[in-house]
Amino acid sequence: MIDMLLVSNGYGEAAIAGYLARAIHERAPGVHIDHFPMVGEVAGLSPDVATVGPQAQMPSGGLVAYWNVRNWVRDVRAGLLSLTLRQFAFLRRQRTRSVVVAVGDVYCCAACLLFTRRPTIFVATAKSELVAGHSALERTILRHAAIVFTRDDATAQALARAGVRARYAGNLMMDGIGAASPDGALPTISGALHAGVLPGSRSDAPENAAAAIRRLQIVAAKVAPRRVQALVSLAPSVPAADMLAACARAGAIFEPSRERDITASGRAGPLDVIVVEGRFGDLLRASDVVLGQAGTGNEQAAGLGKPVIASSASSDPERVGWYRMRQQRLLGGAVAVLPDDDAAFAAGLIDLLADQPRLEAMAAQGRERMGAPGGAAAVAQAVLDLASETSA
């Protein structure tokens, strides 16, 4: 019997693991799949996939790369070292698996290779030659993976030249958006400016949504009589009560919604607002622009050709947080980063909305940088082929 373990180290990476699990089960319904999320507390990907291994919510939400010392210190104080040791011990007990799939960064791949000692396929989500190449140490680690699926062709070619069994088969992030919901379009206002709001899936998501609502109220007042509608995405990891309370503090007055998957609808001054749960693809397709503080979500929006506007780490536009800087380099002109100040952000957004050539260029670059879907099917087949070889 084929018995595989998916390992992810991030919220977006866990979602990608879910897309992959679905593609595997479509081809081989009887395969046993478990999911081990190394970052955060993640519920089951589906009824057919069990969540296993030690989990804990860290203060950083997993954003500890690039020598972010403050986040490292906070996480260590919250028990990161103990959690890491327990996770390594869990991986060491997985040596009977047919195959292991690591989804995330090289650290995730290295942990799987070192402790499980099982054939490992790596789905690389974090690094791209468009931002920065892999180091000599990272290339050495990746040579031990059975296959490395990269997020773009340039990265696959660079790794292949270094002796890594690397391929590019499409972007798994784009597979996750899926087809339009059979429930039909979201209840949007005809003729309005539809602004998707992606506040993320971490603990700061409610406040990110509140900031977007404050800023869009300013925009709505400026562009009147055209109406503006905020389509706020509610991630499964974010309590709905926390999200609605934060939006209410930003001026939103909600009424209970009878629409399926619409958590609440209402107004915040001149701004119309709906909070949407579970129909992420429909939300992106309905949006004209996206205000995003997400990771994977921002990239998926850009891949659909939606101009993405994020806020910087401070009111100084020259100071962009390390994560947002990395995302801006990855997506190029598809994402605009504006100051983390309500008035300045709203003014920048209004200027951007008036610049149609720039909006069109942002859309084109997002599609180019993110590439086409299809990766999930290719990775699923490669995983099943490798698992069959090791289980024979």
High-pLDDT (> 70) share of the chain, %: 93
The more confident residue out of 191 and 390 is 191
Residue 313 CA to residue 71 CA, distance in Å, equals 15
Please return the burial class of 358, using the count of CB atoms within 10 Å of its CB with bins 0-12, 13-18 and 19+.
middle
Range with lowest mean pLDDT among 43-52, 178-187, 253-262: 178-187
The more confident residue out of 84 and 324 is 84
Residues 20-29 pLDDT 10s: 999 999 999 9
SS3 93: coil
pLDDT tops 90 at residue 371: no
Residues 60-69 pLDDT 10s: 666 555 556 6
Residue 33 CA to residue 48 CA, distance in Å, equals 8
Structural domains in the chain plus CATH codes: 3-176+373-391 (3.40.50.2000), 193-370 (3.40.50.2000)
Tokens read off for 57 = 């919510």
**Per-residue model confidence (pLDDT) at position 348:** 97
Range with lowest mean pLDDT among 187-201, 281-295, 327-341: 327-341
Q: Are 177 and 166 within 8 A, CB to CB? A: no
Side by side, the strands of the sheet bearing 166-167 are: 49-51, 32-37, 3-8, 99-104, 120-124, 147-149, 166-167
Range with lowest mean pLDDT among 33-37, 68-72, 332-336: 68-72
**Per-residue model confidence (pLDDT) at position 1:** 84
Helix boundaries (H) for 250-374: 280-286, 296-303, 322-331, 342-353, 356-370
pLDDT tops 50 at residue 297: yes
Residues 168-204 pLDDT 10s: 998 898 987 876 677 678 989 999 999 999 999 888 8
Residues 144-160 pLDDT 10s: 999 999 989 999 999 99
* Predicted TM-score of the model (pTM): 0.83
